[in-house]
Every structure is written in C-alpha cells, then in structure tokens.
Amino acid sequence: MPAPKLLYLPPPVAEEWDWQMDAACRDVDGSLFFHPDNERGDARENRMASAKKVCARCPVRQKCLQYAFDSGERYGIWGGLTEDERARVRSARRRHTSR
C-alpha cells in the first residue's frame, strides 16, 4: 500500500524557533536583510554591511545560519552571510562530501 501524500507541511515546533527571540535583528526592520528590486552598487553594499554589523553582535548567529542552510533559504542575509556567500559554502560542502 503506497504511503499517503501529504497535502500540507506540519507546523513548526515552537521550541525549534525559540532562538529567534534572542536574535539581534528581532527589533530591526527586516528590509535591512533583503535587497529591494534593482538595488545595486554602493546602496546595496552599504545595506549589506549594516545588516552584517547586526549579525556580528548576534548571540544566535550560528543557529540563524544553520536555519538558513537547513531550510534552503535562497534570499537575504542570514547568520551574517549573503545569498552568494551561502551558495559558495553549499557548493564547497558538496565538493567536499563528493570526494
């Protein structure tokens, strides 16, 4: 008998999200961590640098970064890493595990 198909994902367990209550970004405007359409050059670099400063002082930075990897977050700055930086880490991990 085939396994039943899930029609929805189960809700997250609250305890798995408790770390977010301690995040340095908790009271910061979320747009700091996600670039608007057509943002380029100095504006983008300055925004990313500001976001990374918040992450640098965050007590749950590693948990945030792990969440981004575990959930496949493709956008935004998570745990102090940009989309491109996380993509490079994922690529390096794949190369390392394929040896």
Is residue 40 part of an annotated ligand binding site?
no
Is residue 64 part of an annotated ligand binding site?
yes
Distance CA 91, CA 25 (A): 27
Is residue 98 part of an annotated ligand binding site?
no
Q: Please, are residues 80 and 46 in contact by the beta-carbon 8 Å criterion?
A: no
Q: Two tokens at 93?
A: 């991990």
Residue in the block written with tokens 């994902």: 9
Is residue 25 part of an annotated ligand binding site?
yes
Distances (CA, A) of 91 to 21, 39, 42, 54, 75: 30, 25, 27, 26, 16
Binding site per annotation, positions for [4Fe-4S] cluster? 25, 55, 58, 64
Binding site per annotation, positions? 25, 55, 58, 64
